[in-house]
Amino acid sequence: MSHEISRRDWLCRAAGTALGLGITSLDRGNLLNGAWEENQAVREPKARSVIYLYMSGGMTHVDTFDPKPENKEVQGPLEVIEGATSGMRFGQHLIKTAKQSRHLCLINSMTTTQGAHEQGDYFMHTSYEMRGTIQHPSLGSWVSRELGRRNPELPASVLINGGSRHPERGYFEMKHQPLRVDNPNEGLAHAKRPQNIEASRYDKRMELLGKFNSSYEKRHQTKAVKDYKESYDAALKLMSSRDLEAFDLSKENETLKAAYGENEFGQGCLLARRLVERGVRFAEVQLGGWDFHNDCFGRLEEKAPVLDNALGTLIEDLHQRGMLEDTMVVLATEFGRTPNINNRELGRDHFPKAFSGMIAGGGAKGGHIHGKTDKDAKNVVESAMSPMDLNATIAYAMGLDTKKVIYSPSKRPFQVAHKGKPVLELF
Amino acid sequence: MKITLLFFLLASSLWAVDFETKVLPILKNSCVKCHEPHEKRGKPREAKAGLRLDSAFGIAQGGDNGSAVVPGKPEESPLYTLAALNPDDDDIMPPKGDTLTKKELETLKVWIESGADFGKWRGVNKSEPKWPMETLPEKDRKDLPKLPQKAIYDFKKLPFIVRPVAKNSPYLEVEWRGDGQKLRSMDLLPLTQYKDRVLRIDFQDLTLDMEAIKKISTLESLEVLNLTHCKLPSLKGLSKLSHLQKLNLYASNSSSQVKQSDWAKLDSFTPLGI
């Protein structure tokens, strides 16, 4: 069997998978670099882009951002390291992250109502509880819908290393679906000219294709035909655009690549930075496998450094590039893990009542801790923050109207963060 | 303008619905029982969804789910849309008992369309109804007149993006990732005509000459200047920019030296090179 794919097949894939047909959102009608543009942000945004790091499986709060060394029973065997900013403490694996503490705003008062993975993940991403009758869009799709693209050649929202669950566009149009990149090292699939065809020959083919298509397009002036034409055109445009380079990690220097961590999450964070640099508004990178029901401390030794290398390096990298003021890095997870260590398996189980999250940059206060839990890390005793509030806070920073009501095709009212209120103390 | 206003007055007076005699009876009959503090099985309950329909203040304020009424926009007002759902729908209001009749729905719709005026009615809470506005704090900026249409016409011809910093803001931001191209200084001319409005420039991967820097240095209200991955001449002229808070020269090179100490007064400075 040949590994070559047919021209038609390839073009479909380029337009379909590479661009998620998201490229049809070129409401401007063309791909000019410039021109006058309206702005849908209701206020001057603090964060022009967001890099959203999602810890899938439920990140343990006690062992990362909310250690309790005074309470040995809860703390377990891990040491605590002090952040560079006084009062900030981290689990012993977060060495690089602790060094960035002056940029971090820890949220030690997250609380959710969902204690199962799928439901928790869904709630965190959409601000709505799962229902049988409708699928809600995730925050990245809201951003795409409300603000559109910042760079007309790249999608507004990208998902790197996504699992099988959210984020999705929900009831929004296809063009708001986050573009998926499943392997950051491979970049954007099907976006290069097949190597066995010369450029001149390729251009001829495309010209011929355009001729064939034009008569069809004239006869069938429907939205679907227009959508497809636009997505093909945009795919071709992106192929020859320098923005395609954004997906190519080989352009980065080896030392920096290594610092992010030679793993999918680390490289994913580096890719997210490259995309944001080129004008992508919302890049989510997922790190799975936090579900430590057994051997919590053994498994942390592998997982936590992956997070630490990527997060610590990402913050430092953004700062050095002068991008941190405009770029908000968010760390979120579906729930925390039980402060009590189960003795049988030395694991921690699901704990929705209290957990931690983090934001950095995008106008957020650095060296700041928001909210706290009691001495057992079990109850939020100050400034509780729900997933809805976190989403409202991110939406606020990006200049979205958190009170705006929009209607799904089934005529139901929705808001970007549901009932969430932006937490303005974080800015 | 006058004609529109006249039409508006006529329209609203012709179709205006008196709240107290036409709308209030509908609310009392179908909505208020749950949407006011009430008793259920002998126990006191708050108004459902935090929405109180027993006062003008409560209706204007909305509930836990945000606004109930958006004046002028029935299709964005849950008070109307939820009542107008298909009776089989899970979200229909009222959830039990008779749904609103077509005539009642039309009355609600027209009342909202014509501006949702309560007349003299205030209900149990005597406070004046306050329609919610976006209440989050913003940077203080002086009010400038709306951008003239001619400016937009001029900007449309430029090779880079010009847009207001926010919806309806008179201030502007400029953005261009230029794939190594040369920035023609004449393309900055339309911006210099609105130099009190340009707050932010993001130029990436461009070549700028002295003329371009000179033009940028006349944009007196400029606060953020990102010139990253660019080829730059001397930047001396930029020191005139008295409102500048941030200068980012990451991965750019310049024909002359740029000293960090020259820019110490800025909130944020990122030096040349990598």
**Average confidence (pLDDT) over B12-27:** 81
pLDDT at A221 over 50: yes
Tokens found for residue A219: 């006869």
Whether A36 and B155 lie within 8 Å, measured CB to CB? yes
Q: Tens digits of per-residue pLDDT, B257-271?
A: 888 888 999 999 999
Residue A25 has what pLDDT? 35
User: What is the layout of strands, in order, in the sheet containing A104-110?
Assistant: A179-181, A157-160, A282-287, A49-55, A327-333, A355-361, A104-110, A368-370
Whether B136 and A40 lie within 8 Å, measured CB to CB? no
Which residues of chain A does B175 touch, with a Cβ-Cβ cutoff of 8 Å?
A: 150, 279
**Average confidence (pLDDT) over A278-290:** 96
B15 — pLDDT class (breaks 50, 70, 90): low
Q: Model pTM?
A: 0.78
Residue A6 has what pLDDT? 59
**Average confidence (pLDDT) over A207-222:** 85
Residue contacts between A and B (CB atoms, under 8 Å):
114
pLDDT at A370 over 90: yes
CA distance A341 to chain B (A): 37
8 A C-beta contact, residue A74 and residue A337: no
Interface test with chain A among B157, B167, B176, by most A beta carbons within 10 Å: B167
CA distance A33 to chain B (A): 6
d(CA B68, CA B60): 7
Q: Which of A267-281, B4-18, B137-151 has the highest mean pLDDT?
A: A267-281
**Average confidence (pLDDT) over A352-371:** 96
Residue B130 has what pLDDT? 78
A383 — pLDDT class (breaks 50, 70, 90): very high
Q: Tens digits of per-residue pLDDT, A111-130?
A: 999 999 999 999 999 999 99
Which residues of chain B does A35 touch, with a Cβ-Cβ cutoff of 8 Å?
A: 155-156, 158, 161-162
pLDDT at A18 over 60: no
8 A C-beta contact, residue A400 and residue A143: yes
Please tell me which residue of chain A has the smallest CA distance to B61.
A403
**For B91, which of A243, A405, A412 is closest by C-beta distance?**
A412
Which residues of chain B does A255 touch, with a Cβ-Cβ cutoff of 8 Å?
A: none
For the ranges A200-204, B150-154, B182-186, the lowest mean pLDDT is seen at A200-204
Q: List CB contacts of B82: < 8 A, sequence separation 6 or more.
A: A413, B91, B92, B93
**Average confidence (pLDDT) over A165-181:** 86
DSSP string, A43-55: S--S-SEEEEEEE
pLDDT at A171 over 60: yes
In chain B, what percentage of residues exceed pLDDT 70? 91
B132 — pLDDT class (breaks 50, 70, 90): low
Predicted complex: ipTM over 0.90: no
Residue B140 has what pLDDT? 67
**For B161, which of A35, A40, A322 is closest by C-beta distance?**
A35
Query: For chain B, what is the mean pLDDT?
Result: 87
Q: Tens digits of per-residue pLDDT, A303-345?
A: 999 999 999 999 999 999 999 999 999 999 999 999 999 988 8
pLDDT at A29 over 50: no
Q: Which residue has the higher pLDDT, B223 or A22?
A: B223
Whether A44 and B163 lie within 8 Å, measured CB to CB? no
CA distance A72 to chain B (A): 41
Rounded to 5 degrees, what are φ and ψ at A372? -155, 165
Cβ-count burial A211-241 (b if 16+ within 10 Å, e if not) = eeeeeeeeeeeeeeeebbbbbbbbbbbbbeb
Residue B238 has what pLDDT? 94
A14 — pLDDT class (breaks 50, 70, 90): low
pLDDT at A15 over 60: no
CA distance B84 to chain A (A): 10
DSSP string, B15-77: H---IIIIIHHHHHHHTTTTSSSEEETTEEEPPGGG---SBHHHHHH-BTTB-S--TT-GGG-
SS3 A373: strand
Tokens found for residue A26: 């070129």
pLDDT at A71 over 70: yes
Q: Which of A245-259, A308-322, B53-67 has the highest mean pLDDT?
A: A308-322
Which residues of chain A does B250 touch, with a Cβ-Cβ cutoff of 8 Å?
A: 320-322
Helix axes A264-277, A296-320, angle to 10 degrees: 20
Residue A354 has what pLDDT? 97
Q: Which residue has the higher pLDDT, A357 or A194?
A: A357
Query: For chain A, what is the mean pLDDT?
Result: 88
Q: Tens digits of per-residue pLDDT, B186-225?
A: 999 999 999 999 999 999 999 999 999 999 999 999 999 9
For the ranges A231-240, A353-362, B81-90, the lowest mean pLDDT is seen at A231-240
Residue B12 has what pLDDT? 47
d(CA B115, CA B249): 51
Residue A31 has what pLDDT? 40
For the ranges A246-250, A368-372, B219-223, the lowest mean pLDDT is seen at A246-250
CA distance A44 to chain B (A): 5
Which residues of chain B does A422 touch, with a Cβ-Cβ cutoff of 8 Å?
A: 136
Whether B270 and A320 lie within 8 Å, measured CB to CB? yes
**Average confidence (pLDDT) over B118-143:** 74
Half-sphere exposure of A22 (CA within 13 A, CB side): 28
Tokens found for residue B75: 């299709």
Whether A279 and B177 lie within 8 Å, measured CB to CB? yes
8 A C-beta contact, residue A70 and residue A386: no
Residue B137 has what pLDDT? 47
Please tell me which residue of chain A has the smallest CA distance to B155.
A36
Residue B1 has what pLDDT? 47
Residue A123 has what pLDDT? 97
Residue B134 has what pLDDT? 46
Q: Tens digits of per-residue pLDDT, B224-241?
A: 999 999 999 999 899 999
Q: What does each C-alpha distance from A199 to A7, A192, A241, B194, B262 come to in angstroms?
A: 14, 11, 14, 44, 49
pLDDT at A211 over 90: no
Whether A33 and B78 lie within 8 Å, measured CB to CB? no
**Average confidence (pLDDT) over A164-193:** 84
Whether A36 and B268 lie within 8 Å, measured CB to CB? no
Which residues of chain A does B81 touch, with a Cβ-Cβ cutoff of 8 Å?
A: 407, 411, 413
d(CA A121, CA A118): 5
Whether B134 and A42 lie within 8 Å, measured CB to CB? yes
B133 — pLDDT class (breaks 50, 70, 90): low
**For A36, which of B90, B156, B166 is closest by C-beta distance?**
B156
Whether B81 and A321 lie within 8 Å, measured CB to CB? no
